[in-house]
């Protein structure tokens, strides 16, 4: 797949699983992809969630 095909696939299939690590423990959760384009991938979360804090570190 080339980049445009990957972006099209992600836009057509916005549900995915994302893994983070906190204190050497993995956390995998379902997450929605808000949008993908040439600038990157935008994930859907909230600033009050642990996921946001883990991604911000």
The pLDDT assigned to 54 comes to: 84
Query: For residue 7, how many other CB atoms are within 10 A of its CB?
Result: 17
Range of the domain at 15: 3-56
Q: 56 pLDDT exceeds 90?
A: no
Question: Can you list the alpha helix ranges (DSSP code H) found in the chain?
Answer: 3-12, 50-56
pTM of the full structure: 0.65
Helices (H) and strands (E) in the chain, counts: 2, 3
The pLDDT assigned to 6 comes to: 94
Condensed to tens digits (0 to 9), the pLDDT of residues 1-37 reads: 999 999 999 999 999 999 988 889 999 999 999 999 9
> How many domains, in total, are found in the chain?
1
C-alpha count within 13 angstroms, C-beta hemisphere, residue 32 = 5
Length of the chain (residues): 57
The whole-number average pLDDT for the span 32-44 is 91
Query: Which backbone phi and psi does 45 adopt, to 5 degrees?
Result: -155, -175
């Amino acid at each position: 797949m080339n980049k445009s095909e990957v972006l099209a696939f992600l836009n057509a299939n916005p549900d995915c699983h994302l893994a983070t690590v906190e204190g050497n423990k993995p956390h995998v959760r379902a997450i929605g992809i808000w949008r993908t384009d040439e600038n990157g991938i935008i994930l859907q979360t909230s600033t009050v969630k642990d996921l946001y804090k883990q991604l911000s570190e």
